[in-house]
């Protein structure tokens, strides 16, 4: 099973650190998103099922992330950006797609 690359681990760690310092009303991430961030940040093996779930989330959330980024927002002031970083950040979708293809062969 694959392990997320360093750039995804860094994104997840950064989002977890920022989230920790935010007031509760500004915190982002669901229980699933926080669990995924911890898996990624800790370098845990990611199953095919997990990768498929990651791809699904990243596809759905991509437009909100891009909109917030284009407005100059950051994980400190955008729940969309923070949540997207929990799942590995903007490069995570391509990585997840590549891993899914490899595992399905």
Which residue in the block uniquely carries the two structure tokens 């284009």? Answer: 70
26's torsion region: left (phi>0), alpha (psi -120 to 50) or beta? alpha
Are residues 60 and 84 in contact, defined by beta-carbon separation less than 8 angstroms?
Answer: no
Q: Is residue 35 part of a domain?
A: yes
Global pTM value: 0.94
According to DSSP, residue 22 is labeled S
User: What is the number of structural domains in the chain?
Assistant: 1
Q: Is residue 48 part of a domain?
A: yes
Q: Which domain holds residue 19?
A: 6-104
Question: Would you write out the chain's pLDDT as a tens digit for each of its 105 residues?
Answer: 899 999 999 999 999 999 999 999 999 999 999 999 999 999 999 999 999 999 999 999 999 999 999 999 999 999 999 999 999 999 999 999 999 999 998
């Amino acid at each position: 099973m694959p392990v997320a690359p360093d750039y995804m681990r860094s994104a997840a760690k950064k989002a977890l650190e920022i989230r920790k310092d935010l007031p509760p009303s500004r915190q982002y991430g669901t229980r699933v998103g926080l669990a995924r961030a911890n898996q990624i940040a800790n370098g845990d093996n990611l199953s095919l099922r997990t990768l498929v779930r990651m791809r699904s989330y990243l596809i759905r959330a991509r437009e909100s992330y891009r909109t917030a980024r284009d407005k100059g927002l950051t994980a400190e002031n955008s729940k969309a950006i923070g949540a997207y970083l929990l799942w590995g950040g903007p490069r995570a979708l391509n990585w997840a797609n590549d891993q899914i293809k490899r595992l399905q062969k």
